């Protein structure tokens, strides 16, 4: 409601029948999954999209959009540029090198929240890289109809993330899709390795996720599998 | 077999229309003045010089 004062709010309802307006828009912007928010400029050019997993995620996205939209107005100040660079890197709006991000995060006067997000971004990068590699592997396999290879790519991710967890790496609770994916993969990897303690840790992390309420039955089934171990 | 599978993917237009009408009655749609057509929203965006925040949802499934 508050955001509607700073933006023109537009709702698009995919309805699966002829009649409602703009049924082609969701696909036109290459969006995936519901619900999704998308920021556009007055020409209809996309800024970025996000899934409103939690209120904090939504508030952060609205803040980022304001910074990006104010880019021209904020001039060439070092601080303004640093904020924009960090957001472009966090949201993968362009290729931003690690050195560029580190340099932006070190700019004097940068808000503590940006520094916190930068640290979390660096900490979670190995997990995101592993997920991206799996997604590419699955896509390649599915393109040629090789279901076994797709499953193997998923198993590889589970094994990799389980190993990372055993090395002491952890994915912080941030309300993201990646958080759920990481801990679910660690859980599966731990079950495969018959490692009850790590499976318990992963399941506890999943139960703490903001999305947990939506996956109650699934989590119960996972709890059952753990108890059988 | 393929025809049966294809038929299963069909959506009943009457049910879809009913779902859509129900969706339009949701509380969140009444709280703020949503635009329902992208062309109208873009025109308003140009007029007010405000960017556009698009919310994509669905009515064919929960």
pLDDT, tens digit, for every residue of A15-51? Answer: 999 889 999 999 999 998 899 999 999 999 999 999 9
The C-alpha atoms of residue A35 and residue B26 are separated, in whole angstroms, by 15
Residue numbers of A between 46 and 65 with CB closer than 8 Å to B: 47, 62, 65
**C-alpha pair distances (Å), A125 with each of A88, A121, A132:** 15, 6, 10
Give the SS3 label for residue A24.
Answer: coil
Which of A100, A107, A94 is CA-nearest to residue A115?
A: A107
Check if A2 contacts B (Cβ < 8 Å): no
Strand partners, A46: A40
Check if A42 contacts B (Cβ < 8 Å): yes
Give the SS3 label for residue B56.
Answer: strand
pLDDT, tens digit, for every residue of A47-96? Answer: 999 998 888 888 899 999 988 888 766 567 899 999 999 999 999 999 99
The verdict on whether omega for the bond into residue A26 sits within 30 degrees of 0, i.e. cis, is no
pLDDT, tens digit, for every residue of A95-142? Answer: 999 999 999 999 999 999 999 999 999 999 999 999 999 999 999 999
Question: Which DSSP symbol is given to A201?
Answer: H
Sign of the C-alpha dihedral computed for residues A65, A67, A72 and A76 taken in this order? negative
pLDDT, tens digit, for every residue of B35-56? Answer: 999 999 999 999 998 999 999 9
pLDDT bin (cut points 50, 70, 90) of residue B9 is low
Alpha helices in chain A (DSSP H): 25-28, 55-69, 78-90, 98-105, 112-143, 147-166, 177-192, 196-208, 216-228
Picking from A4, A6, A9, A34 by the largest number of B CB atoms within 10 A of its own CB, the best residue to mutate is A9
More confident residue, B6 or A219: A219
Check if A215 contacts B (Cβ < 8 Å): no
């Amino acid at each position: 409601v508050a955001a509607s004062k700073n933006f023109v709010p537009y709702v698009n309802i995919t309805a699966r029948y002829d009649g409602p307006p703009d049924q082609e828009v969701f696909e036109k912007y290459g969006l995936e999954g519901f619900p999704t928010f998308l920021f556009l400029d007055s020409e209809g050019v996309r800024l970025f999209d996000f899934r409103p997993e939690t209120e904090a995620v939504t508030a952060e996205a609205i803040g980022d959009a304001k910074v990006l939209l104010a880019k021209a107005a904020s001039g060439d100040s070092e601080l303004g540029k640093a904020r924009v660079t960090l957001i472009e890197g966090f949201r993968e709006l362009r290729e931003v090198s690690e050195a560029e991000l580190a340099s932006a995060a070190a700019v004097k006067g940068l808000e503590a929240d940006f520094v916190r997000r930068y640290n979390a971004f660096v900490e979670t990068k190995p997990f995101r890289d592993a997920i991206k590699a799996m997604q590419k592997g699955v896509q390649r396999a599915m393109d040629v109809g090789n279901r076994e290879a797709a499953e193997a790519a998923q198993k590889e991710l589970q094994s990799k993330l389980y190993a990372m967890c055993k090395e002491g790496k952890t994915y912080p609770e941030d309300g993201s899709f990646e958080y759920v994916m990481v801990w679910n993969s660690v859980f599966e990897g731990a079950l495969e390795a018959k490692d009850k303690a790590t499976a318990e840790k992963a399941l506890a992390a999943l139960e703490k996720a903001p999305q947990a309420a939506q996956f109650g039955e699934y989590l119960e089934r996972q709890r059952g599998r753990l108890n059988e171990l | 077999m393929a025809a049966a599978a294809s038929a299963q993917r069909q959506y009943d237009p009457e049910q879809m229309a009913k779902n859509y009408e129900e969706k339009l009655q949701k509380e969140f749609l009444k709280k703020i003045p949503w635009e329902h057509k992208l062309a109208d929203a873009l025109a308003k965006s140009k007029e007010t010089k405000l960017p556009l925040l698009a919310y994509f949802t669905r009515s064919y499934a929960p």
